[in-house]
Structure 1
Amino acid sequence: MTSGPPEPARLLPWTGTGGKPCYLIGDGTGFLSRIADDTELAQLDIASELLDHATRILVARAWTSGEIHLLALQLTETLREVKRIAESRGGRLPSPAGDGADETCADQNGTAETDGAPPLTRP
């Protein structure tokens, strides 16, 4: 039996009850991993199509307030999905070689504890 570092938990491209994140632990080759891969691919395809659609609408400069509102809602949801995919994939990247001085751990509430560096804040 080979012993190595445990596989990181994969953030899945959907949420559970109450909008809570769903995670998968495994080697990335199972049935559920393939469903998650297919879901991510579909979400990225939709994001690409929506971006093209948004560009056409904005270039035409002929829209109603309702169209812009709907577009903003769709772009917001798509951006949320793409961000989730990026977080999931980034979380599965191997740690860069180094001394680990830049490592940050976050608890379930998103509160980060760093190695003495000042916390990052959003404007």
Structure 2
Amino acid sequence: MGHHFSTPAAFAAEEVDSPILAIHSKNAWNDHWKSHKDSSKLMVIDFTASWCGPCRSIAPAVKAMAAKYTDVVFVKIDVDELSEVAQQWKVQTMPAFVLVKGGREVGRVVGAKKDELEKKIAQLRA
């Protein structure tokens, strides 16, 4: 069972697999925030860092949640890349998941607490 990427379709399918939007610049964040802040959709901001072990360990679970809850917007922010955004949300410990709806924080999970995160998402997405 090898991976064959002979057709562009295979690549497309691979992309759909991860509906998490990785944001790498302050401008991209500002644009995303503007477009989302008036939305009634739940947004989960995943504050992560490349050197953070627990962040890596929970990543597959977050990816699975993003695939499962297609009505929720998942955003990933590297705190080293966008420290201003992390400060804006007063994030000090990674991983931190800030749940936002209608432009304000409605919940937060700090640490690689997969079950707690999923419970909160299921609760707040409605």
TM-score normalised per structure 1: 0.23
Q: Which has the higher contact order (CA 8 A, sep 6+)?
A: 2
Larger Rg: 1
Of Structure 1 and Structure 2, the greater helix share is in 1
